[in-house]
């Protein structure tokens, strides 16, 4: 399930500070946050971990840009996947 994390956790996971995170977002090398309220944002933890794995795997900036674009494009699928998993879990619990 997708877990949302706030900026201090993103900094801790990525090893980057706020300015570098937002700079990387601007050039497509880091996933942007999602709005959780009118004044608050958070990041999808799995997306941050995927970018970290790409960096560790020595992928090029262009490969990471494609990864980030794919991660962001997949966001609308999080809800249907969650609902399907929840429905399957509830069906198993009722049986």
Q: What is the pLDDT of residues 38-83, one digit of tens each?
A: 999 999 999 999 999 999 999 999 999 999 999 999 988 877 777 7
Q: Say how many CA atoms lie within 13 Å of 27 toward its Cβ.
A: 10
| The total number of structural domains that make up the chain | 1
| Per-residue burial over 14-47, b = 16 or more CB atoms within 10 Å of its CB, e = otherwise | bebeeeebeebeeebbbbbbbeeeeeeebbbeeb
* High-pLDDT (> 90) share of the chain, %: 74
Q: What is the pLDDT of residue 54?
A: 96
Range of the domain at 37: 4-94
Residue 8: CATH number of its domain? 1.10.1660
Residue 85 has pLDDT above 90, yes or no: no
């Amino acid at each position: 399930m997708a877990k949302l994390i706030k900026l201090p956790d993103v900094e801790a996971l990525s090893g980057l500070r706020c300015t570098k995170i937002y700079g990387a977002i601007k050039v497509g090398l880091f996933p942007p946050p999602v709005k959780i309220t009118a004044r608050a944002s958070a990041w999808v933890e799995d997306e941050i971990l995927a970018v970290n794995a790409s960096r560790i795997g020595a992928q090029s900036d262009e490969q990471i840009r494609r990864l980030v674009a794919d991660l962001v494009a997949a966001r609308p699928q999080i809800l249907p996947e969650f609902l399907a998993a929840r429905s399957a879990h509830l069906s198993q619990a009722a049986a």
